[in-house]
Amino acid sequence: MEKRESRYVKVVRIAYRLTQQALPRYSHPKSPHHFTLPQLAACVLMMFYLDISYRDMEEWLLATDQVCRELELPRVPDHTTLQRTYKKLRKLDFDKMKDELLDENGVEEEVIASDSTGFSPGQASLYYQTRSGRLYRQWVKGAYAVGTVSQFILAWQSGRGPSNDTAHLGALRRQSGRYGTRMGRRRAWVMLADAGFDGDDVEELDLIPPIRRHGKLVDPAR
């Protein structure tokens, strides 16, 4: 009978391999060497995968011996250590891990889709905001490009909302284009997005509906 393996073990194995490839062994030569930076960063990635808090991640690790062995942890790091680790990670570090994962899987897409979403800038619930009268006026905005076949996120951008999506189109297209199909040196992949991305930066192979106001095109010439 074939032995089954938990998907959590599979995910953490991938996370640990990526952090080892992208990060130095320690964040500083004089830092306490109780854990390596890749070990702690892999724990942080797993925490995001599980969508749980730092405290819950500490408890989850205490209950999962297989994951701890996979990460070669001498003991379970506490939640404050995980929190400090996340603050040390830069966007460049996440970009390196993303690119390594995509390259390993040989991602090549004919169609790439983009969209954006908003994230709360704090932990307060909508109920608390409504009762206190302190509603958020701004939020963190994330814009993403996703391969329609692989379902991998190929590129990401962030900013403050409310704002127009078109500001992120060029960067998403440039970053995700590395994983789009080409005919020689020419781009052969298509970008799909909604009208929020419409603007002067739209190219021929960008399938983006034009912005309309009261049923009329805002810029008919374009």
pLDDT tens-digit series, residues 40-60: 999 999 999 999 999 999 999
**49-56, Cβ contacts within 8 angstroms, sequence gap of 24 or more:** 49/11, 49/15, 53/79, 54/79, 54/80, 54/82, 54/83, 55/79
**pLDDT for res 119:** 77
What DSSP character marks residue 124?
-
- Report whether pLDDT(112) > 60: yes
Query: Which residue ranges make up each domain of the chain?
Result: 7-94, 108-217
- Report whether pLDDT(128) > 70: no
- Report whether pLDDT(131) > 80: no
Higher model confidence: residue 133 or residue 90? 90
Indicate the range of 89-103, 136-150, 202-216 predicted with least confidence: 202-216
- Per the prediction, the chain carries an average pLDDT of 88
Per-residue pLDDT averaged across 139-158, rounded?
93
Per-residue pLDDT averaged across 26-33, rounded?
80
**pLDDT for res 161:** 72
**pLDDT for res 29:** 78
- Report whether pLDDT(134) > 70: no
Distance separating alpha carbons of residues 119 and 166, to the nearest angstrom: 18
Share of the chain above pLDDT 90, in %: 66
- Report whether pLDDT(212) > 90: no
- Report whether pLDDT(129) > 80: no
Q: Where are the alpha helices (DSSP H) in the chain?
A: 7-22, 37-50, 54-62, 65-70, 79-88, 91-104, 126-132, 166-176
Please measure the distance between the N-terminal and C-terminal CA atoms of the chain and give it in whole angstroms.
63
